[in-house]
Amino acid sequence: MNRWLSVLLLLVCSSSAVLANEELLGRWTGGLTCGPDKNLPLTLSITEAKNGKLKGVFEFRSGWHKAKYHVVGTTTSTGAFQLDPGPWIMQPTGFRAVGLQGQVARFGSRPMIQGTLLDCKGGSFTAFLQPPLEEPPPPPLAEMFDRKGPQWIKAVRDRVQEYVRKRVDKPRWWNQLEREVGFSKVDQATRETLLAEVREARANVRADALLQELASGPKDFPQGIGRALFIFRQAQTSEWPDKTKLRVYKACQKQVAEVLRPKLTEIAALAANLPTTLEGLAEARAAIAPMEDYRHSLEQAFGTLDQENLLSPMLKRIAELELNPAIAIAFREALAVARQQSDPRTATENVIYNVLGQASSSYPLAAIAAEGRKLAALAEVVVESIASEGDRSEPSASDMAAYMFTLVERFNAPLAAMRCAPGQHDVTDLPRCQLGELEARLKKIVKSGCRAEKPGQQYVCDFDQYSQLVYFRTGEPPMDSFALSTRFPGGRMEGPQKVRFVRQVLGGGWVGSRASPE
C-alpha cells in the first residue's frame, strides 16, 4: 500500500463569500483518499495568516502511522491559497509529501475545504473548520471561600452576572459553576435558589446565542425556514425555563412568517389566472407543492403553515376546481391514459400527485384516485390461459385476476393499517412500522381450465397465481429480513387455486369463493 503524505497545494475559492485571511485561521479536520487508501483522517491547522502569508501544520493517519509536518503558503484577495511542505515533524517510513488543490465552500453555515490531491490517482480530500478549543473555566470559587457564607453566595452571583455580561456560551464553565453550587454547604433552599439563578442565566445566554444565529442566518426560502426550525427544536428539547423557550419560539415564528410572506403572496396571486381545467388544478398543486414539504413541521412547531392566511385565494380556487364535474371526468381520462404506459402503477401515481398533491381534502377526487390505483395494479398483472377451447360463457383469466386481486387487497389491509410516517414513530413501534412498509402485489394469473356446474351460471375453475411481497414505497422484495426472505424467497407468494365462480344477477360479473379440492 502506497503511503502518500499529502502536502498540499490548496487553491480555494469560496462558493458563497470569500474568506478573509483571519477566517482561514483555525483547525480543519476531515478525510483524504489516495489510490487504495480511503477516508484517511486529516488535520490542517492554519496558525498564522497575515498579509497574504500562511503558516500551519498538516497531519494525517494511516493505520497506526501518523505523519505530520509544517506548511507555508500564500493567499490572495479572492480567497485562493496555496500551501507547500516545510520541515517534517513526524515522518513514518514510506511516506512522502505531495500536493493538493481545492476550494473553500460552505456546507450550510460551516466552512468546508474540498479538492483533489496532486500526483495521486483519484486523490481527493474534504475537511471542515472546527470551532476553537474551549479555554478552561476560571478557578473554582471554593478556592477562595468556604462555600457557605454570604461572601461565597455573593461571589456566585457576581460570576453569574459576569458570564451573562460577557455572553459566555461555554458548557464547561457553566457546568463547573453548577457543580460548585450543587456541592456547596449552604442550606437546601439557598442552594436551590442559586441553582435556579445559574440555570436561568445559562439558558438566557444560550438562547441569546441562538437568536443571534437566527438573526444573522439566511432569510430566503427554504433555508430561512430550515434555520428557524433547527433553532426552535433546540429550544423545544432543552430544559430551559418556559419564558426563555417562549422567547425563542416567538422569534422563530416571526422569522418563518417573514420568510414565507413573499412566497405565499406570489402563490396566491396565481389563483386568479388559473384555467378551469385539470391542467389548472395541476398548476395550482405545483405552485403550492414547495410549501407542502414544510407543512407538517411548521404545523407541529407553530400550529399552522400560513400564519397570515395569505394562501386563502389559492386554497379557495383549488376547492372550486376540485368540485368541478368536468375536472373529475378529465381526471378519470388521465388515469386511463396512465394505465396504458409501460409502468402503469408509477404513471398513475404521477398523475394522482400532480392533481391531488400532498394534502387534498376532496373526497370525490380521492375516490377516483383510489379506483385509479386499483385499475393500475390490475393493469400490470400478466394474464394467460392454457385452457382448451371450451364454454365461452365461463370465467376468463381476467375474471380470475379480478378475484385474486380482491384477496390480495384483503391481505394488504392490515399491513396498511400498521403504516407509519417516516421518522415519526417511537422506537417501540418499530416492528409494527416495519410490517406496515410491506404489501403484496399480484403479478400473474395463468388459467388452467373450468368445469361447469351450471353452464353459464356456475363454474369451478383452476388457475395459478403469482404474487410478490414488496416494500410498498419502492416495489423491492424484503431481502434484508431473514425471516421474510426465507419464507418468501424473492418475495414470492404463489400457488395453484381452485375457485367456484357464480355469475351475479345484476351486472353480469362473477363472485368467487374457494372451492374444496376434489
Q: What is the DSSP string of 445-457?
A: EEEEEEEEEETTT
> Left (φ > 0), alpha (ψ -120 to 50) or beta: where does 32 sit?
beta
Q: What is the pLDDT along the chain (518 residues), one digit of tens a residue?
A: 444 433 333 333 333 333 445 667 788 899 888 777 778 899 998 888 777 788 888 898 888 888 898 888 877 766 677 778 888 898 888 787 877 777 777 776 778 888 777 777 777 888 888 887 667 677 776 666 677 788 888 889 999 999 999 999 988 899 989 998 998 888 999 999 999 999 999 999 999 999 999 999 889 999 999 999 999 999 999 999 999 999 999 999 999 999 999 999 999 999 999 999 999 999 999 999 999 889 989 999 999 999 999 999 999 999 999 999 999 999 999 999 999 999 999 999 999 999 998 877 889 999 999 999 999 999 999 999 999 877 889 999 999 999 999 999 999 999 999 888 765 556 567 788 888 889 999 999 999 999 999 999 999 999 999 999 998 888 888 876 656 666 666 667 889 999 999 999 876 789 999 998 76
Cell of 301: 412547531
Give the distance, in angstroms, between the CA of residue 218 and the centroid of all CA atoms in the same chain.
Answer: 20
Strands 53-62 and 510-514: unpaired
CA atoms 66, 52, 18, 228: torsion sign: positive
What are the b/e assignments for 24-38, b being 16+ CB within 10 Å? bbbbbbbebbbeebe
Cell of 263: 412566497
Helix (H, G, I), strand (E, B) or coil at 281: helix
What pLDDT shows up at residue 481? 63
CA atoms 135, 140, 144, 150: torsion sign: positive
pTM of the model: 0.64
Cα 257 to Cα 163, 207, 346, 350, distances in angstroms: 33, 20, 36, 31
Helix (H, G, I), strand (E, B) or coil at 502: strand
According to CATH, the superfamily of the domain at 3-130 is Quinohemoprotein amine dehydrogenase alpha subunit, domain 2 (2.40.128.120)
What pLDDT shows up at residue 19? 47
Residues of the chain with CATH 2.40.128.120: 3-130
CA-wise closest residue to 6 among 83, 63, 79: 83
Cell of 29: 479536520
Place of cell 471554593: 142
Cα 69 to Cα 74, 114, 120, 434, 453, distances in angstroms: 17, 20, 19, 51, 92
β-bridge partners, 116: 101, 124
What pLDDT shows up at residue 47? 85
Taking only Cα atoms into account, the Rg of the chain, rounded to an integer number of angstroms, comes to 34
What pLDDT shows up at residue 144? 61
CB-based contacts of 260, cutoff 8 Å, min separation 6: 221, 225, 291, 305, 306, 307, 310
CB-based contacts of 131, cutoff 8 Å, min separation 6: none
- Distance CA(101)–CA(254), nearest Å, equals 43
Give the distance, in angstroms, between the CA of residue 63 and the centroid of all CA atoms in the same chain.
Answer: 34
Helix (H, G, I), strand (E, B) or coil at 252: helix
Give DSSP secondary structure letters for 360-372: ---HHHHHHHHHH
- Distance CA(212)–CA(205), nearest Å, equals 11
What pLDDT shows up at residue 145? 61
Give the distance, in angstroms, between the CA of residue 503 and the centroid of all CA atoms in the same chain.
Answer: 50
- Distance CA(499)–CA(510), nearest Å, equals 11
Cell of 459: 363454474
